Amino acid sequence: MAKWLVIAAAALIGAAQGPAGQNDLCWISGRWQTETRGRWTEEVWAEPRGGMLIGFSRSGEGDRVGEFEFLRIQAGADGVPVYIAQPGGRAPVAFRLTAASGTGATFENPAHDYPQRIVYRRDGETLVATISAIDGANAMQWTYRRR
């Protein structure tokens, strides 16, 4: 009987916690920037509101913008957050949340050409973003500081 009580309690705790939501990812909010040898990249994320985080990324050199991307995180059809990127304003590409902690999140889309994995990790006033193939190959990383 005690064994069943433990199993039932664990199931209830898991159900109460549910999948990570947009508010659980609020640590990504803010204005983040990196600059090296005149080249810069920045990401800006608004606080979660209405079940969605909205952001953008842009990079360039000096006063010239070379690339930009519209970003959002919202619940997918199953309630699990999805990271949706629109590089250069093109068609959206969705990456499903596969892992989350208090200051980290991994989003994946194995069917996409590249990237297939997007990882964010925050440590205080530093935000690290990494994109890669699903196996971690061909990784590119940006280390941002809060602005």
Q: What percent of the chain has pLDDT over 70?
A: 84
For residue 63, the enclosing domain spans 20-146
Q: Is residue 3 part of a domain?
A: no
Residue 33 has pLDDT above 80, yes or no: yes
Query: Is residue 2 situated within a structural domain?
Result: no
- pLDDT band for position 24 (cuts 50, 70, 90): confident
CATH code for position 95? 2.40.128.20
CB-neighbour burial class of residue 64 (10 A; exposed 0-12, middle 13-18, buried 19+): exposed
Residue at 135 is within a domain: yes
Instruction: Give a yes or no: residue 115 inside a domain.
Output: yes
CA distance 62 to 15: 50
Q: Which helix (H) or strand (E) holds 12?
A: helix 2-17
Does the structure show a pLDDT above 70 at 104?
yes
* Residue written as token pair 């069943």: 4
In a domain, 43, yes or no: yes
Q: Are 121 and 103 in contact (CB under 8 A)?
A: yes
Measured CA to CA, the distance from residue 104 to residue 138 in angstroms comes to 20
Question: Count of alpha carbons within 13 Å of 29, Cβ hemisphere only?
Answer: 13
10 Å Cβ neighbour count for 75? 15
Residue 4 lies in a domain: no
| 51 found inside a domain | yes
Place of tokens 């039932």: 8
**How many structural domains compose the chain?**
1
Amino acid 2: pLDDT: 36
